[in-house]
Structure 1
Amino acid sequence: MQRTRNIFLVGPMGTGKSTVGRLLAAELQRPFYDSDHEIEARCGCRIPWIFDVEGEEGFRQREIEAIASLTAMDGIVMATGGGAILRPENRQCLRERGLVIFLRTSVEQQMRRTMRDRNRPLLQCEDPEQRLRALFKVREPIYREVAHWTISTERRSPRAVVNEIKRRLRQ
């Protein structure tokens, strides 16, 4: 199988980036990182708390720092937060330092996967489905721009997605 320096998973919340990333890393015998978990570990608090105290801007600055250091590593699989691609610095690090895979799914699938998750500050609103649609409208072109590959996770098991990634890596 082709040795790709790093593999980075991008996409909206609820597309399976963390689950697919963990499975893929295990299959490829590589370390796995989740940029959101790394941010929490570095600051010693949960992401909703960062949003409450520092706002989205404070969180995004922490995200830039985490992604810069994680992408500088070699031979990793990393899942990013859904909004990581909003900052040009992050897009540059991701695109230049590894293979970027956009995991794509429908808003309906995102709703099913995230509706009970209280650790998603952007969904703590009156109409989470409308919020997801608005986020996707803005972010989807950016995901496509930064990604080398796009893979659908719609109604597919994480194992099926991992198998597709491995098949593409072999080609």
Structure 2
Amino acid sequence: MGKLTDRLDRPIVLVGLMGAGKSTVGRRLAKRLGLPFIDTDAAIADAAGYSAAEIFDRYGEADFRDGERRLVARLIDDEVKVIATGGGVFVDPRTRKLLNERAITVWLDAPVDVLADRTARRDTRPLLRNGDPKGTLERLAKDRGPSYAEAHIRITSGAGAHHDVVESIVSALESHLDGAAKP
């Protein structure tokens, strides 16, 4: 694995809808590659003293997204690492452009049924507190899909083992770097 990590010159940023596995897979990917891991929602909560959901509720989505954008810009400016982002980060055109220029972006794409099952386990998602979480996820998948599709790499994350998703990402990173090295 040292060979892949030696070739990385920028962070790996996981994007996708809530419940796609960005945090869980990100932690495992970072361990597999021997890299640091950062979850942007946790970093925001540490800085603000409130959970991401509480910030969202107290100050609204616009303020939350603004803080998220500033944090992401800082995180991609230093060492190579794995970063799991919140579901809305990559939707903002400025943030998407910045991430695609200065990181390797990986879209974890999961079916809505899988997302609905995973997100139903905890009530920590402000956008899903509306009585129709599956409908909201379907709408978000449709609305955000074109933005996520601009990521460098797309990995399908279903109900299978996280280990398999990590291995798919590692293979895709190898291919991406091989393609980037060609003139």
TM class, shorter-length: over 0.9
Is structure 2 residue 146 aligned with structure 1 residue 148? no
Between the aligned partners of 1:165 and 1:51, the Cα distance in structure 2 is 30
Which runs of no fewer than 5 residues in structure 2 stay unpaired? 176-183
The Cα offsets for residues 69-128 of structure 1, whole Å up to 9 and x where unpaired, read as 111122110011001012122112210111111000111000111102111100111111
The Cα offsets for residues 4-36 of structure 1, whole Å up to 9 and x where unpaired, read as 221110000111110110001011111000111
Between the aligned partners of 1:40 and 1:69, the Cα distance in structure 2 is 16
Query: What TM-score do the two structures reach when normalised by structure 2?
Result: 0.89
Residue 53 of structure 1, CA deviation: 1.5
User: Could you say what secondary structure the match of 2:149 adopts?
Assistant: helix
Residue 61 of structure 1, CA deviation: 0.8
- Indicate the percent of aligned positions where both proteins have the same amino acid: 41
Between the aligned partners of 1:170 and 1:61, the Cα distance in structure 2 is 33
- Runs of 4 or more, structure 1, over 4 Å off, are none
Between the aligned partners of 2:170 and 2:71, the Cα distance in structure 1 is 26
Which runs of no fewer than 5 residues in structure 1 stay unpaired? none
Is structure 2 residue 115 aligned with structure 1 residue 110? yes
Is structure 2 residue 89 aligned with structure 1 residue 68? no
Asked if the contact 2:153–2:172 (Cα under 8 Å) also holds between the matched residues in 1, the reply is no
Query: What TM-score do the two structures reach when normalised by structure 1?
Result: 0.95
Residue equivalent to 1:45: 50
Q: CA RMSD in A?
A: 1.1
Q: How does 1:114-125 map to 2 (within 5 A)?
A: 114-125=119-130
User: Could you say what secondary structure the match of 2:13 adopts?
Assistant: strand
Aligned residues: 170
Counterpart amino acid of residue 155 in structure 2: I
User: Could you say what secondary structure the match of 1:9 adopts?
Assistant: strand
Between the aligned partners of 2:94 and 2:50, the Cα distance in structure 1 is 24
